[in-house]
Amino acid sequence: MKCFFCKGQIVDAITTDVTDLESSVIIIRGVPCHKCAQCGEISFSLDVGERLEKIVDGLRHSLTEIAIVQYSDKVA
C-alpha cells in the first residue's frame, strides 16, 4: 500500500492516540495503525477507528482532567 500524501510505503505499526476534549485529554497507548515509512503519516483501519471512538465515548464523562489507557485493555 502507498501513502496518500507522499506515495511512500505503508507499514503496520503501533502508535499513541491523543484526543483533546474541552475539559480533558484522553491518551490511548498501543494503538495498531498503518504508518508511512517515509513521511510518518498515520491512518487507522475502520475497526480500530470505531474502537477508538468507543473508548473515548466511554471515558468522556468519567474524566476529571486526563486519562491514559492501553488500547489492548479496552478491546473486547
Domain count for the chain: 1
Q: Is residue 5 part of a domain?
A: no
Domain that holds residue 52: 10-74
**pLDDT for res 19:** 95
CATH number for position 59: 3.10.20.860
Strand blocks (E) in the chain: 10-20, 25-36, 42-43, 66-70
**pLDDT for res 23:** 84
Q: Average pLDDT by consecutive 10-residue portion of the chain (76 residues)?
A: 95 97 92 97 97 92 82 68
Least Cα distance to 19 among 76, 57, 73 occurs for: 57
Instruction: Give the other-Cβ count within 10 Å of 28's Cβ.
Output: 22
**pLDDT for res 62:** 78
Q: Is residue 1 part of a domain?
A: no
Q: Is residue 45 part of a domain?
A: yes
Q: What is the pTM of this model?
A: 0.86
**pLDDT for res 73:** 66
**pLDDT for res 74:** 58
Amino acid at 23: S
What three-state secondary structure class fits 22?
Answer: coil
